[in-house]
């Protein structure tokens, strides 16, 4: 498979270059030259396959010819060794729980797969690979866990100071070894901008071998297609059209769903559910994409004012707004509405949901009220509620049980280096560590 930049569809690179480089020189994003199709006769078997088996098959469709089949299976089976259960709330509504990996967030899918793929691609290389990753919360912990201790790979995580939950911060700042956390005095967009600047700096590139573990890296999106196939083919959906409501910030998760749909997954529609950082819902309404400074909310992983993966979405639709609108509806909600949704879900279904999942639930309610068709809604729950314990306990007036993984992280000392949101400071740090 070859990969092109969203800014130039005529120039192609190999899988190795797309993954290890992370970002094209023209500041676009890598996309596959073609999207492989999953035959219907194979998909008819998916209801009888577990998530790991589906992951192995879909991986081979993407990576065939680039890696030996045995290696592809080994990567998929080693990375996706946990489940993504579909929990039924009522006849027409399910929750897709993506928090059963080691760091209790959906980012485990992409980070664990990427770590194993990169480790194979750099085997035998002499030069150290430095991975830069910006995080608004969960990505940092998942990447740190996935890459911890891998020989020849160093991970540097940039996160916005004071703008991630305390437990999220502990999950990304307590590893040590080959993991370094940089606490940036700014917001997530500042962190993401610093990472992109690093990739475009010729001097830095000549001295350091850099790549990214954000969803700007194409290898993050491939494994996120797995759970869309798994969920959309579950027998409990009773063959009704599946509509996914995806809590969205940088839009990597939704973009992966669109790729799965293009591969043949039986998905009728997507709902782009955001908090007040509503750049994409606004685009779907007006046709104008206007990035802006992000606003802090209780669903902090979605506090993104300039979502990178929007340009992948635009590329999938050849910049055709009307085609995009046929597949995606967008809605945005306030913190007040999010808290009310968390309370409603607990009251109606005795189900605990985190603030991001609650935004997804609100998106589903808004969409289903508009179309009034007999469809199956799937709300994507991206993180365990305990990762946002302060918000959940305050909203639901209850004491939350903290999972073992989070308790262990909470007891460890924080290890971080504070830097201003200035590229020269990041560059100096990278060159010092070289």
- Of 139, 127, 137, 129, whose CA–CA distance to 168 is shortest? 137
**Strand 3-5 to strand 8-13: parallel, antiparallel, or no bridges (unpaired)?**
antiparallel
CB 385 within 8 A of CB 352: yes
How far lies 65's CA from each of 89, 331, 419, in Å?
Answer: 42, 40, 42
Torsions phi, psi for 382 (to 5 deg):
-90, -15
- Of 255, 225, 231, whose CA–CA distance to 243 is shortest? 231
Total residue count of the chain as it appears in this document = 434
The question of whether 202 is a catalytic residue gets the answer: no
Q: In the structure encoding, which two tokens stand for residue 88, read together?
A: 């039924």
Per-residue burial over 261-300, b if 16 or more Cβ lie within 10 Å, else e, is bbbbbbbebbbbbbbbbbbbbbbbeeeebeeeebeebbbb
The rounded distance, in Å, linking the Cα atoms of 367 and 271 is: 7
Residue 52: strand, helix, or coil: helix
**DSSP-assigned states of every residue in 265-288:** --EEEEEEEESS--HHHHHHHHS-
- Of 301, 256, 254, 261, whose CA–CA distance to 280 is shortest? 254
Catalytic position from the list 21, 107, 196, 387: 107
Q: In sequence order, which residues have a C-beta less than 8 Å from that of residue 229 and are 6 or more positions away?
A: 38, 43, 46, 54, 58, 260, 263, 265
The rounded distance, in Å, linking the Cα atoms of 271 and 377 is: 10
Active site residues: 107
């Amino acid at each position: 498979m070859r990969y092109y930049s969203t800014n130039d569809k005529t120039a192609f690179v190999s899988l190795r270059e797309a993954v290890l480089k992370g970002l094209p020189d023209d500041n676009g994003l890598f996309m596959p030259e073609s999207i492989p199709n999953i035959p219907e006769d194979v998909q008819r078997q998916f209801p009888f396959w577990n998530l790991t088996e589906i992951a192995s098959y879909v991986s081979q469709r993407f990576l065939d010819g680039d890696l030996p089949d045995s290696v592809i299976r080994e990567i998929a089976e080693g990375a996706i060794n946990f489940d993504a259960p579909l929990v039924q709330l009522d006849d027409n509504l399910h929750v897709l729980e993506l928090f059963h990996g080691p760091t209790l967030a959906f980012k485990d899918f992409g980070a664990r797969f990427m770590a194993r793929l990169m480790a194979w691609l750099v085997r035998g290389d002499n030069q150290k690979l430095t991975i830069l990753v910006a995080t608004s919360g969960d990505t940092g912990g998942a990447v740190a866990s996935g890459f911890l201790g891998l020989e020849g790979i160093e991970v540097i995580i940039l996160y916005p100071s004071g703008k991630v939950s305390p437990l999220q911060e502990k999950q990304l700042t307590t590893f040590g070894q080959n993991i370094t956390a940089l606490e940036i005095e700014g917001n997530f967009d500042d962190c993401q901008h610093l990472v992109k600047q690093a990739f475009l700096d010729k001097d830095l590139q000549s001295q350091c071998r850099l790549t990214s573990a954000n969803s700007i890296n194409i290898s993050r999106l491939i494994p996120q297609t797995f759970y869309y196939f798994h969920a959309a083919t579950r027998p409990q959906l009773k063959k009704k059209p599946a509509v996914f409501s995806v809590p969205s910030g940088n839009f990597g998760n939704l973009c992966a769903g669109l790729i799965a749909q293009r591969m043949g997954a039986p998905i009728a529609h997507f709902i782009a559910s955001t908090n007040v950082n509503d750049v994409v819902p606004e685009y779907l309404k007006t046709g104008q994409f206007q990035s802006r400074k992000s606003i802090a909310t209780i669903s902090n992983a979605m506090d993104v004012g300039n979502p990178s993966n929007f340009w992948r979405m635009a590329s999938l639709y050849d910049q055709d707004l009307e085609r995009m609108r046929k597949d995606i509806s967008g809605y945005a909600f306030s913190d007040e509405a999010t808290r009310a949704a968390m309370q409603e879900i607990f009251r109606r279904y005795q189900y605990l949901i985190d603030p991001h999942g609650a935004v997804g639930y609100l998106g589903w309610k808004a969409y289903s009220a508009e179309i009034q068709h007999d469809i199956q809604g799937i709300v994507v729950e991206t993180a365990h509620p305990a990762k946002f314990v302060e918000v959940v306990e305050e909203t639901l007036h209850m004491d939350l049980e903290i999972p073992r993984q989070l308790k262990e992280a909470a007891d460890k000392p924080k290890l971080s280096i504070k830097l201003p949101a200035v590229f020269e400071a990041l560059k100096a740090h990278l060159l010092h560590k070289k």
